[in-house]
Structure 1
């Protein structure tokens, strides 16, 4: 069969380093490759575990499970006001010291429910029952095991190495100053978590391309973005960085919204999936959001390496964190952040966005588990990513580079 003619390599020409050849399916199905990801990606990268407003006051803490590291992070605001992170693990016999997902430890500290060892909000060992029977126990050397903990734009990052060689600013890289203040006004309004039978990278892939929308979301949001001029949702902006990537999603501004959409347009200042030209201009947005100032812009997708995807719009952003449980099992953590609603109409509009995104995520999930089974069948050996899927290719190659080279 003759090769296709008139192939468009616009993005590959802009980013020639990512190439155009099909890529092996091995990283999606190999247990050995997955173990290498755990050791060379997740143990060597800064990982987002929450927001600073989850631990605002001295003693406030939250716990975040980190399955690829076989641990959970305990993030606590010390009585000295400093934010720290520790392995949620007693130094005596390994039991968890924070048994609840969040709280305040100013009065009780963190008592282990196994043998009563108790730690203060700075991670120091404060009390040991029958301490006289522990030969040579030095409390100053027996505190909670620290993780590195730093903050970027209100996001709390931790690193399994308490003294990583790469500072967070270098890890964030080219985008570190481009979102200045964007996230600060929005607060969490909803969230949920679910597990899927997929490799963790499969959902990230579908999040950074638009050409599936006409088919997977044809009865839902696709009608808001695809039209006669852009039926396959080609994305007008794609930016590839050393580790991260962004794409911009355009709206079909010629279509008339359905009645409920129209109400959401009218009353809601925080709806990412019902765009209007008047609401979603670049005015008031930092350079990282709609970076190419696309006139018909609806929202962006920021793929923050390794395992978070953010949908960023005017007045709302949504985070999706993909925690691998095994080579073909993934936990998905979804959180919605929005500007505080000032009216009942705005609150209803926010709920409309949350419900609509629930349907979008369900449609993706219903598609991706069969995709994983296909990848595991052995019949498919390569994936021919198109030029429109260049962000998928870039993510694939970034993971592969770290697995093979460690950086």
Structure 2
């Protein structure tokens, strides 16, 4: 596999001297105390993506999101004005979870004209206003106008729904995203509504799984069995270096070159890829999506494989050169467990062949994800032994340095601001 030249000014890590080159500690991934600090300092202050507007196709559409990292459940709804709003999923009467089906801890979605509590039938409209109280005359000085649902700050960018749990967000969503991300405006995210979704509990700290997708140093080794033996051997011997890394505020980007599988030697392809005209990089037939925004493929890779935009703290938008995208979410549940969600988005298939091609790409992604997750559980168990507390990172792992350093900076900033409060 071809190696690509590094920028003229030096290695990627040296391009960001504030990150240093020393070995790193993973105490932030094994410490319950640090986890409690980052819950407050990061997840209760940063803008968090919780879904897309396609999940709310009409007025009254809603979905719930369980967010253990901030100890709450929220309901996200499209109101009668067509706006997207978010509320804590709790009834103002006795604290029952307001929206759920048979299992209170499971997420749900649907359509309604109002929300009705299962416990005592208090009702709320789509703007969170309390509209009905069963036997209202039994209550003392009840002013329904004071007891609506508790709102959560909510904003939408390019169809992505974000929430913020701070009393007042320190930045607008757009300012938080910054130019590297907002330069993606105009990408046809809304046209990609053929959707596959995977969800799994991973027994590793959330940052460790993010780390797995911030470098491709591991790819020829860890994923060798996903490729024909001849190709795997060549790739493992040559190694792989991504041609472009970028850091913008708290966010990161890694871009890679593309392998046009259909142009490879047939002996280097899997038979199923020839049959389905698809593979890990997606369907071979690339849809015409029009002119791409300036933020896509900023390194002008040719051939171009993908851009992985990693939005702090736990959200990834990965745009594939073959005309589709996927997202990753990493939702912490403890210092050494988290929920991983992977969602793939394609244009609607026009033929059965296009549908099968999308399904093969989705299955290929799932297999790669399982391999990464399995390795990380092994990583977590051993770094918890604390036999070693200094780990070497190569130049390709520059974004790993940034994630851990940025998380620590948010914790330090929060602790400084709240000291003595």
The TM-score, its normalising length taken from structure 2, stands at 0.87
> Residue 80 of structure 1: CA displacement?
2.2
Contact 1:249 1:298 (C-alpha < 8 Å) held by counterparts: yes
For the Cα contact (< 8 Å) 1:226–1:251, is it kept in 2?
no
Counterpart CA distance in 2 for 1:213 and 1:272 is 13
Equivalent residue number for residue 255 of structure 1? 264
1:401 aligns with 2:409: yes
SS of corresponding position for 2:210 = helix
Q: Structure 2 CA distance, aligned partners of 1:323 and 1:188?
A: 24
Identify which of 194, 201, 217 aligns with 1:195: 201
- Say if 1:340 and 1:227 are closer, same or farther in 2 by CA, change over 3 A: farther
Q: Counterpart in 1 of 2:35? A: 34
> CA offset at residue 405 of structure 1?
1.2
Aligned-pair CA distance for 1:161: 2.9
1 CA distance for matches of 2:251 and 2:93?
A: 39
1:4 aligned partner = none
Deviation track 1:292-314 (CA, whole Å, cap 9, x = no partner) reads 11012211211111111222113
Alpha-carbon spacing, 1:92–1:322, altered in 2? closer, same or farther (3 Å): same
Structure 2 partner of 1:52 = 53
In 2: Cα distance, 1:11 partner to 1:134 partner: 65
CA distance in 1, matches of 2:63, 2:231: 38
Alpha-carbon distance in 1 for matches of 2:219, 2:299: 22
Paired position in structure 2 for 1:82: 83
Among candidates 282, 285, 305, match of residue 312 of structure 2: 305
Name the counterpart of 1:184. 190
Whether contact under 8 Å (1:244, 1:302) holds in the other structure is: yes
In the alignment, structure 1 segments of 5+ residues that lack a partner are 1-7
Q: In 1, distance between residues paired with 2:164 and 2:217?
A: 35
**2:112 paired residue among 91, 105, 114:** 105
Per-residue displacement from partner, 1:316-361 (whole Å, max 9, x unpaired)? Answer: 1111111100001111112111111111111111011011111101
Which of 325, 329, 334 lines up with 1:321 in the alignment? 329
Query: Could you tell me which residue of structure 1 aligns to residue 354 of structure 2?
Result: 346
Q: How does 1:143-182 map to 2 (within 5 A)?
A: 143-161=148-166, 163-182=168-187
Question: 1:162 offset after TM fit, Å?
Answer: 5.4
C-alpha separation between the residues in 2 aligned to 1:128 and 1:275? 54
Which residue in the other structure is 2:72 paired with?
A: 71
Name the CA shift for 1:226/1:147 in 2 (closer, same or farther; >3 Å): farther
Shift in Å, 1:115: 1.8
Q: Does 2:218 correspond to 1:235?
A: no
Q: Distance in 1 between matches of 2:369 and 2:43?
A: 24
Instruction: Name the residue aligned to 1:136.
Output: 141
Aligned position for 1:387: 395
Q: Aligned-residue CA RMSD in angstroms?
A: 2.4
Partner of 2:384: 376
Quick one: structure 1 residues 353 and 140, their matched pair in 2 at CA, closer, same or farther if it must change by over 3 Å?
same
Which structure 2 segments of 5+ residues have no match?
Answer: 1-8, 102-107
Distance change >3 Å, CA 228–CA 320, structure 1 → 2: closer
- Separation in 1, partners of 2:304, 2:209: 23
Q: 1:147 to 1:379 in 2, by over 3 A?
A: same
Q: Contact conserved, 2:155 with 2:161, CA < 8 A, in 1?
A: yes
8 Å CA contact retained: 2:99, 2:117: yes
Q: 1:399 to 1:230 in 2, by over 3 A?
A: farther
Whether contact under 8 Å (1:289, 1:300) holds in the other structure is: yes
CA distance in 2, matches of 1:176, 1:309: 11
Structure 2 equivalent of residue 125 of structure 1 = 130
CA gap 1:251/1:281 in 2 versus in 1, 3 angstroms: farther
